[in-house]
Amino acid sequence: MNRAFGEEIKSVENRIRGLEAELEQQQEESNETRDQMQQVQQLLQLSSLSRELVVLLVDRVVVEPKNTGEKYQNITIEWNF
């Protein structure tokens, strides 16, 4: 009985070590995700767009012909997302 109990303790200890390693990995991934979210938040704080960013985001711009006698003409922006 002592032998079985000792083996069970070793098994539980191994399981605990495995779970602790898994928890540590999850915490690291969580930290990475938090860092990425902070970077995204900083990037979203734009006051103007650079040409490179516009090229990445915009698929094309469609400018319709101006109707005679009208002050404005329609412009459609088609995005890449």
pLDDT (tens digit per residue) in 23-56: 999 999 999 999 999 988 887 888 888 899 899 9
Q: What is the pLDDT of residue 62?
A: 96
Q: What is the pLDDT of residue 44?
A: 82
Of residues 73 and 1, the one with the higher pLDDT is: 73
Q: What is the CA radius of gyration of the chain?
A: 29
What gap in Å lies between CA 33 and CA 4, rounded to an integer? 43
Token duo for residue 71: 């002050």
**At a CB cut-off of 8 Å and minimum separation 6, what does 40 contact?**
none
Task: Quickly state the pLDDT bin for 19 (edges 50, 70, 90).
Answer: very high
What gap in Å lies between CA 45 and CA 42, rounded to an integer? 5
Q: What is the pLDDT of residue 2?
A: 84
Name the pTM for this structure.
0.45
